[in-house]
C-alpha cells in the first residue's frame, strides 16, 4: 500500500493515460527506483534550481509499458548528477506548524527537506486529499500563495502534483507540495491581476484560446516584450514591458463551471497546438523546450477535474490560471508564427508508425523524461479532445495527433539540439539543420 513514506505501484491502477499490459515486475521495479529517489535525492539537482525529473520520467515510462530493464536504464542515465537532500532541521519542521511562522520558510530552497517531512506528517495524519485541499485549494491567503507557487519553475510543481495524484502516491504528492513551497511567487501578479480585470468586465464575451494566442501575436507591444537576453522572459520581458497588455488579453479567458470537460480539452488542444506549430521552415522540426512544459502539464488537468473534494468553482479557477499561464508562456518566446501545416504535412521517417511503435521508440530513448512526457500527452490528447473536435478552438484533430507523436520522437533523435529554447527568436535555430532538398518540411 502506498503511504506518505512508501511508494507502491500496482498494475491494477488506472492512470489518466496508460498502455495495457503493465507487469507486476515493472510495477515493483518502478516502485523501488522511485523509493530510492524519494529517500536519497533533492528535488533540485543543483543550486540553480534545475529540477530532478526522475519521478516524472519513471512514471511516464511505466505508464507507457516500458520494460523493467528500460526503467532501470532510465534511472541509471539520470541518477549520477542528482544531489542528496540537505540535512533535516527538526526544529524548523515543528515551527512550520505555527501559521505565522510557516510563511517565513517559503521560497527558500534550503528548506525543501523540512517541508517534505512536514507534509509527509500532515498526510499521515489527515490523508492526502484533505492536505491538498487545505494547503493548495482552500482559497485563503496561505493556500493561494502555495497555489501560485505550483505554477512557478515552468509548472514543475503542479506537474509533480499531477503525477502524485494520477498514480495515487502520497509520497510524491508530499514532494510536490514541498517543491511548490520552495519556489518563488512572482507569477501570482499575473493571476490576481487577471481575476481583478475579469471581475470588472464580467459581460465581455469569452474568447477561445486560439483567438487569444492570435491576439497576442498581433499586439505589437506584447509580441515584442520579451527580449532574447532576458534572464526570465515572462517576468523580465512580458510582465515588465507589457504587463497591462498581457492582463488585458489573458483576463478574457473564462472557464464556465458547466463546461469544464470541454474547456479542459480545449486547453490541452491549444497547448499542443502552439507547442507543435512553432516551427521554423526550412529548418527540420524541433519543439520548444519551454512550450513543452505547457503541453506536458495539460494531461493532469483532466484528472484534476475529477477530484470530488474540489468544488466546480475551484476547478474552474485552476483551469483559468493554467490557460493564463500558457498565454504568457506563448508571449514570452517572441510569439512564433503558428502554422500547423508543419505537422499536417510532416513526412516522418516513420510516417505509418502506430502509437505502439511511437511508445516503443520513446521508451528506448536516452532522455530525462521530457520526450516521453510529450509523447504520452499527445496520445492522451487524441482521446481527450475526440468528442469536441467540431467545436470552436480545436485545431489539432484526427490523425494529426499520431503524426505529432512521430514528429516528437523524430525531432529529438535528429541532428542538432534536442529542443530549441525560445522558438520565436532567430538565434535558437542557428544550430538546427535545414530539411533536405525536396522534402516536404
What is the pLDDT averaged over residues 315-331?
98
DSSP for 151-197, please give it. Answer: TTGGGHHHHHHHHHHHTT-HHHHHHHHHHHHTS--TTHHHHHHHHHH
C-alpha to C-alpha distance for 176 and 179, rounded to whole angstroms? 5
pLDDT at position 435 is 85
Burial status of residue 82 (CB atoms within 10 A of its CB: 0-12, 13-18, 19 or more)? middle
pLDDT at position 350 is 52
Helix (H) or strand (E) holding 61: helix 54-63
Closest CA relative to residue 177, chosen from 196, 163, 157:
157
Cα distances (Å, whole numbers) of residue 82 to 8, 42, 433: 22, 7, 32
What is the pLDDT averaged over residues 340-368?
83
- On the question of pLDDT at 116 being above 70, the answer is yes
CA–centroid distance for 268 within its chain: 11
CA–centroid distance for 168 within its chain: 18
C-alpha to C-alpha distance for 248 and 351, rounded to whole angstroms? 41
Nearby residues of 383 by Cβ (< 8 Å), 6 or more positions away: 17
φ/ψ (deg, to 5) at 109: -55, -35
pLDDT digits (tens, 9 = 90+) for 211-258: 999 999 999 999 999 999 999 999 999 999 999 999 999 999 999 999
Sign of the C-alpha dihedral, residues 194, 200, 206, 212? negative
C-alpha to C-alpha distance for 422 and 174, rounded to whole angstroms? 32
- The string over 316-348, giving b where at least 16 C-beta atoms fall within 10 Å of a residue's C-beta and e elsewhere, is bbbbbbbbbbbbbbbbbbbbbebebebbeebeb
C-alpha to C-alpha distance for 346 and 243, rounded to whole angstroms? 36
Q: Which residues pair with 283 in a beta bridge?
A: 434
φ/ψ (deg, to 5) at 151: -95, 0
pLDDT at position 348 is 57
- On the question of pLDDT at 441 being above 50, the answer is no
Cell matching residue 418? 534536442
C-alpha to C-alpha distance for 359 and 372, rounded to whole angstroms? 8
> Is residue 52 within 8 Å of residue 97, measured between CB atoms?
no
- On the question of pLDDT at 73 being above 60, the answer is yes
pLDDT at position 48 is 79
Name residue, grid cell 484560446. Answer: 209
- On the question of pLDDT at 436 being above 90, the answer is no
pLDDT at position 256 is 96
- On the question of pLDDT at 129 being above 90, the answer is yes
- On the question of pLDDT at 1 being above 50, the answer is yes
pLDDT digits (tens, 9 = 90+) for 291-300: 999 999 999 9
Nearby residues of 117 by Cβ (< 8 Å), 6 or more positions away: 88, 93
Q: Which residues pair with 434 in a beta bridge?
A: 283
Cα distances (Å, whole numbers) of residue 122 to 38, 117, 135: 17, 9, 10
CA–centroid distance for 342 within its chain: 23
C-alpha to C-alpha distance for 119 and 117, rounded to whole angstroms? 6
Higher-pLDDT residue of 373 and 441 is: 373
- On the question of pLDDT at 349 being above 60, the answer is no
Per-residue confidence band for 290, with pLDDT thresholds at 50, 70 and 90: very high
φ/ψ (deg, to 5) at 338: -100, 115
SS3 state at 339:
coil
pLDDT at position 438 is 44
Nearby residues of 218 by Cβ (< 8 Å), 6 or more positions away: none
C-alpha to C-alpha distance for 92 and 176, rounded to whole angstroms? 19
SS3 state at 82:
coil
pLDDT at position 347 is 63
Longest dimension (CA), the chain: 67
- On the question of pLDDT at 440 being above 60, the answer is no
**Count of CB atoms situated within 10 Å of the CB of 313:** 11
What is the pLDDT averaged over residues 164-180?
98
Question: Among the residues of 281-369, which ranges form H helices?
Answer: 291-304, 312-332, 341-344, 355-363
Name residue, grid cell 497546438. Answer: 273
- pLDDT > 70: what percent of the chain? 98
Amino acid at each position: 500500500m502506498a503511504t506518505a513514506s512508501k511508494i507502491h505501484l500496482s498494475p491494477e491502477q488506472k492512470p489518466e493515460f496508460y498502455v495495457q499490459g503493465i507487469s507486476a515486475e515493472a510495477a515493483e521495479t518502478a516502485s523501488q527506483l522511485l523509493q530510492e529517489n524519494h529517500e536519497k535525492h533533492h528535488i533540485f539537482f543543483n543550486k540553480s534550481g534545475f529540477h530532478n525529473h526522475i519521478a516524472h520520467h519513471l512514471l511516464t515510462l511505466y505508464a507507457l509499458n516500458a520494460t523493467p530493464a528500460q526503467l532501470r536504464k532510465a534511472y541509471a542515465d539520470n541518477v549520477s548528477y542528482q544531489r542528496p537532500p540537505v540535512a533535516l532541521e527538526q526544529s524548523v519542521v515543528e515551527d512550520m506548524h505555527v501559521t505565522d511562522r510557516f510563511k517565513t520558510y517559503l521560497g527558500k530552497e534550503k528548506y525543501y527537506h523540512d517541508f517534505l517531512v512536514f507534509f509527509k506528517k500532515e498526510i499521515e495524519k489527515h490523508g492526502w486529499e484533505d492536505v491538498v485541499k487545505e494547503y493548495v485549494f482552500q482559497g485563503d491567503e496561505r493556500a493561494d500563495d502555495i497555489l501560485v507557487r505550483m505554477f512557478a519553475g515552468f509548472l514543475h510543481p503542479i506537474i509533480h502534483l499531477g503525477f502524485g495524484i494520477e498514480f495515487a502516491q502520497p509520497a510524491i504528492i508530499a514532494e510536490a507540495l514541498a517543491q511548490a513551497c520552495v519556489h518563488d511567487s512572482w507569477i501570482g501578479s499575473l493571476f490576481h491581476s487577471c481575476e481583478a480585470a475579469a471581475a470588472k468586465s464580467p459581460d465581455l464575451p469569452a474568447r477561445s484560446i486560439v483567438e487569444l494566442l492570435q491576439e497576442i501575436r498581433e499586439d505589437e507591444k506584447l509580441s515584442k516584450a520579451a527580449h532574447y537576453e532576458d534572464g526570465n522572459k515572462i517576468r523580465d520581458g512580458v510582465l515588465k514591458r507589457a504587463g497591462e497588455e498581457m492582463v488585458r488579453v489573458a483576463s478574457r479567458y473564462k472557464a464556465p463551471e458547466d463546461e469544464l470537460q470541454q474547456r479542459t480539452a480545449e486547453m490541452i488542444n491549444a497547448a499542443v497546438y502552439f507547442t507543435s506549430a512553432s516551427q521554423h521552415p526550412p529548418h527540420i522540426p524541433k519543439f520548444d523546450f519551454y512550450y513543452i512544459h505547457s503541453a506536458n502539464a495539460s494531461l493532469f488537468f483532466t484528472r484534476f477535474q475529477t477530484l470530488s473534494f474540489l468544488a466546480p468553482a475551484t476547478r474552474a479557477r485552476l483551469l483559468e490560471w493554467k490557460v493564463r499561464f500558457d498565454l504568457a508562456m506563448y508571449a514570452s518566446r517572441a510569439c512564433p508564427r503558428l502554422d500547423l501545416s508543419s505537422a499536417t504535412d510532416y513526412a516522418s521517417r516513420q510516417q505509418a508508425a502506430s502509437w505502439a511503435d511511437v511508445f516503443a521508440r520513446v521508451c528506448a530513448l536516452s532522455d530525462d523524461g521530457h520526450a516521453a512526457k510529450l509523447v504520452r500527452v499527445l496520445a492522451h490528447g487524441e482521446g481527450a479532445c475526440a468528442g469536441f473536435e467540431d467545436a470552436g478552438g480545436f485545431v489539432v484533430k484526427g490523425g494529426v495527433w499520431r503524426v505529432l507523436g512521430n514528429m516528437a520522437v523524430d525531432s529529438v533523435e535528429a541532428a542538432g539540439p534536442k529542443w530549441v529554447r525560445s522558438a520565436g527568436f532567430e538565434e535558437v535555430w542557428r544550430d538546427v539543420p535545414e530539411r533536405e532538398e525536396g522534402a516536404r518540411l
